[in-house]
């Protein structure tokens, strides 16, 4: 389990990360979300021990994370970090050997990953000869090689096409299913929604929301969609109802009290048929806009 506890980091007068805490359990995939400059990269660098926090600490399996612990983490930095002028297979083997793998095992795993990503024909190419999307695949391969105990990935999906996103998503899910914590940042909320067990939302250096999507949804406003067989203009006059939208026979409503919901339902039935009265689940984008505004 990776436990980020009250991390704080300033750059001069500016506070980049302010008292940030969250946990990524074994086998969990947690999405790290926030606008540009929210503090995600700074938090990830502190998590990896590449930047010293002004306050707070990172625990690994309940103890302060040591350099030896972090040497077994897989990390994909924002600035990427592989050498443009080196052949891709050589680089992957070299990095895996630094993590303690034997040369034959490192070569076998690197070849397997490169084949899986459709790069089997390119293993001798220098990184810079690959398209940006393929370079990104190699960067992800570097992070997941050598059985990392934890994955910390800074925007691993940026610049990937939908097929590559699906491939990488499968790979990360597979790694998480082996029981390792996976933390990754992304601006693609649909992807986070699809992939993650939970998310941490950062705004201006602070955690503004965290938890599973269900937990975050239940914190937000509860709205209902009402569809009836007759015009619904009358709902605006019912006490205890916030009318978000009324469009003929369809309305989006917030019931302030249970009585308001009963009144609306009774009145709608008195006037005609009720075709639908359903709770509207907020999208992750709506939750994000609400908490990160």
* Binding site residues, ligand ATP, CB under 6 A: 11, 16, 34, 36-42
- Nearer Cβ to ligand ATP, position 186 or 261? 186
- Nearer Cβ to ligand ATP, position 16 or 65? 16
- Nearer Cβ to ligand ATP, position 28 or 41? 41
Shortest gap between Cβ of 34 and ligand ATP (angstroms)? 5
Cβ-based neighbour number of residue 89 at 10 Å: 20
Shortest gap between Cβ of 153 and ligand ATP (angstroms)? 12
Provide the terminal-to-terminal Cα distance of the chain, rounded to the nearest Å: 30
The Cβ-side half-sphere exposure at 163, using a 13 Å CA radius, reads 5
Shortest gap between Cβ of 130 and ligand ATP (angstroms)? 23
- Nearer Cβ to ligand ATP, position 11 or 279? 11
Shortest gap between Cβ of 8 and ligand ATP (angstroms)? 12
Cβ-based neighbour number of residue 256 at 10 Å: 12
**Distances from the Cα of 140 to the Cα of 30, 73, 153, 154, 163, angstroms:** 17, 13, 8, 10, 15
- Nearer Cβ to ligand ATP, position 7 or 138? 7
Main-chain phi, psi angles of 261, to 5 degrees: -65, -45
Task: Write down the number of H helices and E strands in the chain.
Answer: 10, 14
Shortest gap between Cβ of 188 and ligand ATP (angstroms)? 12
- Tokens 């050589």 — which residue? 90
């Amino acid at each position: 389990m990776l436990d980020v506890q009250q991390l704080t980091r300033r750059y001069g007068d500016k506070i980049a990360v302010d008292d940030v805490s969250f946990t990524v359990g074994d086998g969990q995939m947690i999405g790290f979300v926030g606008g540009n400059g929210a503090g995600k990269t700074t938090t990830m660098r502190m998590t990896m021990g590449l930047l010293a926090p002004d306050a707070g600490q990172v625990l690994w399996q309940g103890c302060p994370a040591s350099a030896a612990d972090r040497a077994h983490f897989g990390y994909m930095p924002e600035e990427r970090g592989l050498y443009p002028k080196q052949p891709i297979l050589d680089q992957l083997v070299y990095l895996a050997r630094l993590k303690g793998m034997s040369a034959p095992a490192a070569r076998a795993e690197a070849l397997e990953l490169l084949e899986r990503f459709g790069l089997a024909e390119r293993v001798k190419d220098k990184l810079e000869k690959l398209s940006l999307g393929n370079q990104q695949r190699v960067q992800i391969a570097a992070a997941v090689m050598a059985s990392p105990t934890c994955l910390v990935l800074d925007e691993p999906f940026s610049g990937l096409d939908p097929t590559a996103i699906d491939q990488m998503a499968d790979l990360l899910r597979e790694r998480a299913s082996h029981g390792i914590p996976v933390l990754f940042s992304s601006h693609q909320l649909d992807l986070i929604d699809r992939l993650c067990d939970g998310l941490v939302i950062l705004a201006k250096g602070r955690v503004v929301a965290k938890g599973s999507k269900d937990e975050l949804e239940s914190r937000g406003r509860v709205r209902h969609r009402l569809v009836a067989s007759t015009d619904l203009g009358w709902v605006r006059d019912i006490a205890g109802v916030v009318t978000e939208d009324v469009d003929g026979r369809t309305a989006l409503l917030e019931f302030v009290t249970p009585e308001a919901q009963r009144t609306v339902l009774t009145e709608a039935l008195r006037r005609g048929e009720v075709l639908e009265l359903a709770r509207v689940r907020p999208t992750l984008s709506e939750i994000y806009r609400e908490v990160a505004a």
